[in-house]
Structure 1
């Protein structure tokens, strides 16, 4: 049995590109009336209700992303490189990774094993100087961790940011003076500390000579990634460059789990076998009762209460709990530990978490990309990564930007 007709408020907002507040307003006005479960008053919608919207009608119409070829050999320095998701995407877009910094020993080993020619600088970024790369780098990228700042008595400029990893990102940009810098983070950075953290980051980049393009949340499902993952992108352009960066154009084609794990548009064969973790017996017993596309609300009421405990009475969807993904939908965002409670992503047919290679497929890593370390470390590397295809889309936009910069520089020389 496939439960694929029910959509949560979050699902509808995402599909239509509207805020949850707008969807609620439409419900109250009768434009898009939600169904409600009698006992919990949980609000849900049926997929067929959305057929009236152009956004859904166009969902299978593909909008081609820009596919610019590099006019020069453009160089990238990547910080907090992880297992290489963003770096592979940049490489596929035609950019050259000059150096990558990563502190995790297993992730660094992954990078070396797959790309022996890459210059992997393993270690704490706080102990590494990049001054020797000054004016030799076109792009600095980095998925710096989101950290709180201590504002007490500080104007909060560049020097006040010391001790945070964003400071190290900004320091590297200041030392190398790239034409453009790209920071990526979780969507939650937008509202972190009431929005002050992001405003501070923008102010710091401005202080060191970079104007920030309006930050944007990119949804991976619109960039050939079969996963509902969102990343906030922060772009700084060096102030002497009077050219804007354009974010990659989204595709309206949404790929599902079947495209990730079976032969199809993304891969030319079924997913290869690989190790994977297992559910504890108690969790397995519960998830056996959940159909593909279902979650904890599909369980018998007594088991719902037992499994959810206090969360049962808090309201809200919590659609990631006891969730079994169906073949005909994208995966929910992968986590670093596939068996942890509240973020289950169960295989459609078998009652188990996704294996390492299934995880990698959902993140659009190539099958030949191998991960170092124990299985738990491999899951962590993949779960933390930027999806490769999203990285490629961003890389293509960077190439288009640098080509325009390059063209302008040639015009000035020939003038």
Structure 2
């Protein structure tokens, strides 16, 4: 921003730009891999979490940043990453994006062919569907901006993720990146896209993500992302659970690859960490952690048929509604209607955030559900940037978040929100902290409908 006192050193040496940063899933992954990142995020609550975590952030709309503030992004950034909002594409959403897939493909081609940007925006709004669908074009627009801006160089690496329904769009992206035609002006990439299952990368949760990875031609192709764990489907397709307290034995799984990580394993490990925010004593019976979860969502197309997961299995996909899932230690508790709930730190652990990650602001469940699982992010970023898998030491270190001083938090808030005129309209007002000159955010009352989409 243009504030006279902005602490620009927090952006120095940054390599990764995360366009839809949320509370920091990819940024946390980058940190544990040793890469510095910058996030652009419009939701004020997610920004508060990012400031508390010490993550460099610009509180802004990605479109405004691209159009009028592109020069604020350090030239050291050579990795473009992002997961555009997914509600219109997701199974749980309205489906506007899925219905418009073929139309959006045409817009992608129009952008690359040099059609007028203003006309494209006008036609996008005329679709009459969920306006967030248009945000899936933003990574492409940022890429073209870097290619066409004098003094800038094309990004070396591109990493994009979304719900599986967006895979056809990533495939169009990949074809255009390989060709280097039109506004790419001869700049070509080696690009691959696929759908990944999070439990196959050690995340204690079943979740599918469509991922695109591209590397500038001449730098070598992206590394193939080889799963480290078994898919949960391997067991789920064969199980016939009569009672939710019947647990699978280790002999049920092949020995050629590690079994997926369960909810019980991840929460138990997090609870053993020093100064852990996770206390699972209430989930133990006779000294053993044993529970089952009843989903907030229907199963098999029947909204009344709630799915169930055992503590010895991965979690359901963690969404912004995870606090509505019901946790029971036994059938008797279930029959009596005595349900527990996952706390925010526990929900974060199921997303593979560190046990002590400083969730802040409002709508924290929504923030957790919106995030990219950092552990999956480590595999994706490492394969994209280094063409290798994360090391065992890096993966082992990703369980505890470093403490952040109040000075650093205030500096980052000043960087992200210090110039109120450049933040999203009416998002917050900055006030002075008592005894200091750094601003802190003060918010009007909101509800969950304000939350940033995943």
Indicate the SS of the match to 1:323. strand
For the pair 1:397 / 2:383, whether they are aligned, the reply is yes
Q: Is 1:125 aligned with 2:58?
A: no
1:372/1:93 Cα in 2 relative to 1: closer, same or farther (>3 Å)? same
Q: Count residues in correspondence.
A: 286
Q: 2:27 aligns with which of 87, 90, 114?
A: 87
Counterpart position of 1:229: 207
Query: 2:275, 2:313 → 1: CA distance?
Result: 19
The residue aligned with 1:169 is 139
Q: Distance in 1 between matches of 2:311 and 2:63?
A: 44
Aligned partner of 2:319 in structure 1 is: 335
Pick aligned residue for 1:201 from 161, 168, 173: 173
The equivalent residue for 2:393 is: none
Partner residue, 2:216: 238
Q: Which runs of 5+ in 2 are unaligned?
A: 1-12, 87-96, 125-133, 147-153, 230-257, 281-289, 331-337, 390-454
Q: Is the 8 A contact 1:295 1:320 kept in 2?
A: no
TM-score w.r.t. structure 1 length?
0.60
Change in CA separation of 1:212 and 1:348 when aligned onto 2, cut-off 3 Å: farther
Find the counterpart in structure 1 of residue 452 from structure 2.
none
After superposition, residues 49-60 of structure 1 pair within 5 angstroms as: none
Tell whether the 8 Å contact from 1:337 to 1:380 is kept in structure 2 after alignment: yes
Q: Secondary structure at the match of 2:368?
A: helix
Partner of 2:81: 141
**Which stretch shows the higher mean deviation, 214-223 or 155-164?**
155-164
Q: Compute the RMSD of aligned alpha carbons.
A: 3.6
Tell me, in whole angstroms, the C-alpha distance in 2 between the residues paired with 1:127 and 1:366. Answer: 32
1:178 counterpart = 2:158: no
Q: Residue 295 of structure 1 contacts residue 324 of structure 1 at CA under 8 Å; is this kept in 2?
A: yes
| 8 Å contact kept, 2:320–2:367 | yes
> 2: CA distance between counterparts of 1:337 and 1:184?
21
Aligned-residue offset at 1:381: 0.6
Cα distance 1:373–1:171, how it changes in 2: closer, same or farther (>3 A)? same
Would you say 1:104 and 2:76 are equivalent positions? Answer: no
Query: How many Å separate the matches in 1 of 2:46 and 2:322?
Result: 18
| Structure 1 residue 360 corresponds to structure 2 residue 348 | yes
8 Å CA contact 1:345–1:353 kept in 2: the answer is: yes
Q: 1:338 to 1:251 in 2, by over 3 A?
A: same
Partners of 2:76 and 2:170 in 1: CA distance: 28
Report the CA distance shift for 1:385/1:264 in structure 2 as closer, same or farther (over 3 A): closer
Map 1:11-410 onto structure 2 (within 5 A): 75-97=15-37, 99-115=38-54, 118-129=55-66, 130-133=70-73, 135-146=75-86, 147=97, 148=100, 150=103, 156-158=110-112, 159=115, 162=121, 164-176=134-146, 177-190=154-167, 195=168, 197-203=169-175, 205=177, 206-207=180-181, 208=184, 209-211=187-189, 213-239=191-217, 241-252=218-229, 253=258, 254-263=260-269, 272-273=278-279, 316=300, 321-338=305-322, 344=325, 346-348=327-329, 351-374=339-362, 377-401=363-387
SS of the residue aligned with 1:228? coil
Give per-residue Cα distances to partners, 1:318-359, cap 9 Å, x unaligned. Answer: 69943343221111111111255xxx4635556133221110
Which stretch of the first structure deviates more once superposed, 212-221 or 259-268?
A: 259-268
Secondary structure of the residue aligned to 2:160 is: strand
Return the alpha-carbon distance in structure 2 between the equivalents of residues 93 and 151 of structure 1: 34
Structure 2 counterpart SS, 1:379: helix
* Structure-2-length-normalised TM-score: 0.55
Structure 2 Cα separation of the partners of residues 152 and 79 of structure 1: 21
Q: Deviations over 1:81-105 (max 9, x none)?
A: 00101110111112111x2100100
Deviates more, 1:321-330 or 1:150-159: 150-159
Residue pair 1:75, 1:139 contacting (<8 A) in 2 also: yes
The answer to whether the 8 Å contact 1:95/1:395 transfers is no
